[in-house]
């Protein structure tokens, strides 16, 4: 660059900097002008209908868009709803809960977000509300960890239910080696219909209790005078809460059979009825491998109960074969996000499939019948064909010979194509080198003392 050009370039840079500063100042002033003042928000809910959010405001400019951002435990992330007709002086929105997907005792957090015409945005304050089943006058009794909520029955009934819950969660915490201190809400329903309404759609007819581990809430169907039945249901469901505390991670979910098997093992053990179900299934060939009940259990009644029996059978076999300490090690390994094989190998030195096969063998199963797709039968041989059916190429041969041609065809076309490709590559390479040399020469000329 010549000396005469340097002052000119400097002046241009200075002018550009001044213009940028002016533009930034104008943008800042615009952003300051586009704002609202949020008042104190309110929220109210009605079970089975919805949650109403209200956000008063004042000031503001031209709104490009107004949204409400909502989160709650167990959601995959915040979901955003655009308000079609934002009110003047106040924003409002109703979250529809009539589908029953949102269970009671779920804390919902929301805030309104204003996007102005210039693209800037401003968030309002968080609005927090706990969605409750307001159909009943709930009473509450608080223990060391469990908070009991009930609407029917006397104080003696409530005290017994609370003691049952405290003992159940203490047993599960001891068994899994986890010091449980966070509170758990325990809602007791005396009637089946409102109980199913609270659990939501898809609830099976034979469910007497359910633990929502995201909200740390236990729902149980216990009429006054039926605490004998609850003596199994309550500790079973509370064991799920402790199991989730030990294994929760964002990467991998433990097998469902392990979760349910431990809950049954802690609450009632491997009793005679479950032993008979497993023995019968092992002898008549109907035993399901553990891999078949890794996810949800079957919906038919016989398979549903068999799945629970197999789950507790597998846990009992694990404890008898490897010991309680290794079972705790297995469960805690899942808390690190380990896969099934990684967790089992860390605990007992073999993968989950090997453990599955060992458990099956212990129940008299040498091999299980395979279900699912089968190989297609061999097709008819064309008339006059004498060479027999030609086997399909293996994956290895295909990978090693990607340019192989069908039998009976010449491979010269591929070879010629390869040669042509090489020639073109050489020509392009020479051209690239020539262009590079030319560019270097031009740059040197431009930067030399006599260059223009």
355 vs 285 pLDDT, higher one: 355
Q: Which CATH architecture has domain 139-362?
A: Orthogonal Bundle (1.10)
Residue 452 reports pLDDT greater than 70: no
Q: What is the mean pLDDT of residues 429-449?
A: 50
Q: How far apart are CA 339 and CA 353, in angstroms?
A: 12
Q: In the numeric block, which tokens belong to residue 312?
A: 């507790």
- Give residue 213's pLDDT: 96
- Give residue 376's pLDDT: 80
- Give residue 318's pLDDT: 98
- Give residue 417's pLDDT: 44
- Give residue 415's pLDDT: 42
List, for residues 231-254, the tens digit of each pLDDT value.
Answer: 999 999 999 999 999 999 999 999
Distance between the two ends of the chain, CA-based, in angstroms? 8
Q: What is the mean pLDDT of residues 392-413?
A: 37
Q: How far apart are CA 257 and CA 295, in angstroms?
A: 8
Residue 445 reports pLDDT greater than 70: no
Q: How far is CA 46 from the centre of its chain?
A: 28
Q: How far apart are CA 164 and CA 379, in angstroms?
A: 66
Residue 450 reports pLDDT greater than 90: no
Ranking 196-210, 250-264, 357-371, 427-441 by mean pLDDT, the lowest is: 427-441
List, for residues 59-104, the tens digit of each pLDDT value.
Answer: 876 788 999 999 999 888 899 999 998 878 999 999 999 999 999 9
Q: How far apart are CA 152 and CA 128, in angstroms?
A: 29
Q: Of 2.60.40.10, 1.10.10.10, 3.20.20.140, 2.60.40.420, which CATH number belongs to 37-131? A: 2.60.40.10
Q: In the numeric block, which tokens belong to residue 3?
A: 């000396």
Q: What is the mean pLDDT of residues 313-341?
A: 98
- Greatest mean pLDDT among 205-209, 347-351, 415-419 lies in 347-351
- Give residue 228's pLDDT: 87
List, for residues 265-317, the tens digit of each pLDDT value.
Answer: 999 999 999 999 999 999 998 999 999 999 999 989 999 999 999 999 999 99
| Contact assessment for residue 199 and residue 106, using Cβ atoms and an 8 Å cutoff | no
Burial per residue of 399-418, b for 16 or more beta-carbon CB atoms within 10 angstroms, e otherwise: eeeeeeeeeeeeeeeeeeee
- SS3 readout for 53-119: EEEEEEECCCEEEEEEEEECCCCCCCEEEECCCCCCCEEEEEEECCCCCCCCCEEEEEEEEEEECCC
128 vs 441 pLDDT, higher one: 128
| Contact assessment for residue 331 and residue 176, using Cβ atoms and an 8 Å cutoff | yes
402 vs 389 pLDDT, higher one: 389
Residue 331 reports pLDDT greater than 70: yes
Q: Which of 402, 331, 12, 8 is nearest to 177 (CA)?
A: 331
> In a 3-state reduction of DSSP, which class is residue 178?
coil
pLDDT band at 138 (very low <50, low <70, confident <90, very high): very high
Extract the runs of DSSP E, i.e. beta strands, from 145-226: 146-150, 184-189, 209-212, 217-221
pLDDT band at 226 (very low <50, low <70, confident <90, very high): confident
Residue 56 reports pLDDT greater than 70: yes
- Give residue 204's pLDDT: 79
Extract the runs of DSSP E, i.e. beta strands, from 154-274: 184-189, 209-212, 217-221
Residue 172 reports pLDDT greater than 80: yes
Q: How confident is the prediction for the chain on average, in pLDDT? A: 83
- Give residue 430's pLDDT: 47
Find the helix or strand (DSSP H, E) in which 45 lies: strand 42-46
- Greatest mean pLDDT among 82-86, 180-184, 399-403, 444-448 lies in 180-184
Q: What is the CA radius of gyration of the chain?
A: 35
List, for residues 359-397, the tens digit of each pLDDT value.
Answer: 999 999 876 666 667 778 777 777 877 765 555 444 433
Angle formed by the axes of helices 301-322 and 272-284, nearest 10° = 100
Look at the alpha carbons of 422, 427, 430, 435 in this order and tell me if their dihedral is positive or negative: negative
Q: Which of 70, 66, 75 is nearest to 50 (CA)?
A: 70
Burial per residue of 253-287, b for 16 or more beta-carbon CB atoms within 10 angstroms, e otherwise: ebbbbbbbbbbbbbbbebeeebeebbeebbeeeeb
Q: How many CB atoms sit inside 10 A of residue 427's CB?
A: 10
- Give residue 368's pLDDT: 64
Q: How far apart are CA 177 and CA 166, in angstroms?
A: 16
Burial class for 424, CB neighbours closer than 10 Å (0-12, 13-18, 19+): exposed
Find the helix or strand (DSSP H, E) in which 35 lies: none
pLDDT band at 398 (very low <50, low <70, confident <90, very high): very low
- Give residue 31's pLDDT: 42
Q: How many CB atoms sit inside 10 A of residue 154's CB?
A: 9
Q: How far apart are CA 450 and CA 448, in angstroms?
A: 6
DSSP designation for 296? S
- Give residue 269's pLDDT: 97
- Give residue 436's pLDDT: 57
Q: What is the mean pLDDT of residues 328-350?
A: 98
Q: Which of 254, 245, 251 is nearest to 344 (CA)?
A: 254
- Give residue 403's pLDDT: 31
Residue 410 reports pLDDT greater than 80: no
Burial class for 60, CB neighbours closer than 10 Å (0-12, 13-18, 19+): middle
Residue 426 reports pLDDT greater than 80: no
Residues of the chain with CATH 1.10.390.10: 139-362
Percentage with pLDDT > 70 across the chain: 76
- Give residue 15's pLDDT: 39
């Amino acid at each position: 660059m010549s000396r005469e050009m340097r002052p000119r370039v400097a002046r241009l840079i200075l002018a550009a900097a001044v213009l940028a500063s002016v533009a930034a100042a104008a943008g800042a002033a615009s952003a300051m002008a586009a704002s609202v003042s949020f008042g104190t928000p309110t929220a109210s809910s009605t079970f089975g209908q919805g949650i109403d959010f209200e956000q008063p405001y004042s000031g503001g400019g031209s709104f490009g868009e107004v949204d409400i951002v909502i989160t709650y435990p167990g959601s995959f992330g915040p979901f955003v709803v655009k308000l079609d007709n934002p009110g003047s002086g106040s924003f409002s929105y109703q979250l529809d809960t009539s589908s029953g997907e949102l269970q009671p005792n779920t804390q919902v957090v929301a805030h309104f977000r204003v996007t102005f015409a210039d693209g800037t945005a401003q968030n309002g304050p968080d609005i927090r509300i706990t969605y409750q089943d307001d159909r009943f006058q709930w009473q509450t009794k608080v223990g060391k960890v469990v908070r009991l909520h009930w609407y029917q029955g006397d104080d003696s009934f409530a005290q017994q239910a609370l003691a049952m819950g405290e003992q159940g969660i203490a047993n599960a915490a001891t068994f899994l080696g986890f010091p449980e201190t966070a509170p758990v809400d325990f809602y007791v329903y005396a009637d089946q219909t409102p109980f199913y309404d609270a659990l939501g759609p898809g609830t099976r007819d034979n469910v007497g209790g359910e633990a929502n581990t995201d909200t740390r809430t236990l729902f149980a169907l216990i009429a006054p005078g039926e605490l004998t039945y609850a003596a199994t249901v309550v500790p079973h469901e509370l064991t799920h809460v402790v199991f989730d505390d030990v294994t929760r991670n964002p990467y991998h979910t433990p097998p469902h059979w392990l979760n349910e098997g431990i809950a049954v093992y802690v609450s009632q053990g491997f009793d005679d009825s479950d032993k008979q179900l497993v023995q019968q299934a092992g002898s008549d060939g109907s035993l399901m491998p553990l891999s078949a009940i890794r996810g949800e259990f079957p919906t038919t009644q016989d398979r549903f109960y068999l799945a629970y029996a197999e789950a507790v059978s597998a846990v009992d076999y694990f404890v008898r074969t490897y010991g309680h300490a290794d079972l705790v090690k297995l469960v805690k390994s899942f808390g690190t996000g380990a896969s099934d094989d990684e967790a089992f190998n860390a605990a007992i030195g073999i993968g989950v499939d090997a453990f599955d096969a060992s458990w099956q063998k212990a129940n008299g199963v040498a091999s299980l019948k395979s279900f699912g797709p089968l190989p297609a039968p061999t097709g008819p041989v064309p008339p006059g064909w004498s060479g027999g059916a030609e086997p399909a190429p293996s994956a290895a041969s295909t990978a090693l010979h990607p340019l192989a041609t069908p039998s009976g065809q010449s491979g010269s076309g591929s070879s010629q194509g390869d040669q042509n490709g090489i020639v073109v590559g050489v020509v392009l390479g020479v051209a690239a080198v020539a262009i590079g040399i030319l560019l270097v020469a031009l740059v040197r000329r431009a930067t030399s003392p006599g260059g223009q």
